[in-house]
Structure 1
Amino acid sequence: MASTQDRLDIIETCTRMAWYADHRECERLGEIFADATVLDYTSLNGGEPVTVSPEQIGSAWAQALGRFEATQHLITNHLVTVAGDAAVCTAAFQATHRKGTPLGASLWTLGGIYRFELTRTGETWKIAAVVMTATWGDGNQGLVG
């Protein structure tokens, strides 16, 4: 059985992903992502999952999120399963993106489920994979482009 500390550390690691993204602290993503991380955003963007480094994630997110005046990624209802040095954390998310625009709504909100796979190295949990499953959206998705 996983310790309470493991569960708290896993939840905090997953929460930091949203915090660093929203506060544009992309240089800190190396603290929470494994050297090779699988990102699967195919439910929203199509295509195939990609394997990338924390630096590649930071660069891509800085560019994509930098287009917005503000973002807020809320992650909640964490369900954590630990098996030795591997863990899975499934959680609900809501991500709101704000960008002033002369035409159309200035907000786009997306909701769904994140599935994080984590590995423990020493005392640290790192995200090795993220699967984002979008289940609903509202507002102006055109703000992304």
Structure 2
Amino acid sequence: MDRLDVIDTCNRMAWYADRRRWDALTDVFADKVTLDYTSLNGGEPVTLTPAQIIKGWRAGLGAYDATQHLLGSHLVAVDGDGAVCTATFQATHLKSDGSRWTLGGDYRFDLARAAVGWRITGVVMTTVWSDGER
């Protein structure tokens, strides 16, 4: 059951972000989350609160009229109250003028068991390919 709950938590992160369900998105994150998007943006990983993540994603994803983040091939390892889920992804970002930016790669999610369900404590996105203009 833990394996399915972990996968569901990771999928909900993508689902809520694409549907701009910001309030619901807070429920998938722990109080502090380390985000590593350095393969895409350079720089260093950052540790943020859910509110800080959502503020950034609102701005970044808000530049697009629609987004779709697809996760698949989930591999889950549960160790007590911790878990790691790796998954492949494809993310499409669409603007109203028809321009599209799509990228693919892998996610690594670190999770911790919470009072109710699992919460994401870390996300590492590794970009493998990209097509279109950011």
TM-score by length of 2: 0.97
Does residue 107 in structure 1 map to residue 100 in structure 2? yes
- Cα deviation, residue 123, structure 1: 3.6
Classify the secondary structure of the residue corresponding to 1:28.
helix
Counterpart for residue 43 of structure 1: 39
Classify the secondary structure of the residue corresponding to 1:100.
coil
Counterpart for residue 127 of structure 1: 120
Query: Which of 61, 85, 88 in structure 2 is aligned with 1:89?
Result: 85
Specify every segment of 5 or more residues in structure 1 that has no aligned partner in the other structure, as ranges: none
- Cα deviation, residue 133, structure 1: 0.2
Letter in 1 for 2:73: N
- Across the two proteins, how many residue pairs are aligned to each other? 134
Query: Which of 24, 30, 33 in structure 1 is aligned with 2:20?
Result: 24
Specify every segment of 5 or more residues in structure 2 that has no aligned partner in the other structure, as ranges: none
Asked if the contact 1:78–1:89 (Cα under 8 Å) also holds between the matched residues in 2, the reply is yes
- Cα deviation, residue 121, structure 1: 1.6
Return the alpha-carbon distance in structure 2 between the equivalents of residues 109 and 125 of structure 1. Answer: 29
TM-score by length of 1: 0.89
- Cα deviation, residue 122, structure 1: 2.5
Counterpart for residue 6 of structure 2: 10
Does residue 78 in structure 1 map to residue 74 in structure 2? yes
Q: Which has the larger radius of gyration?
A: 1
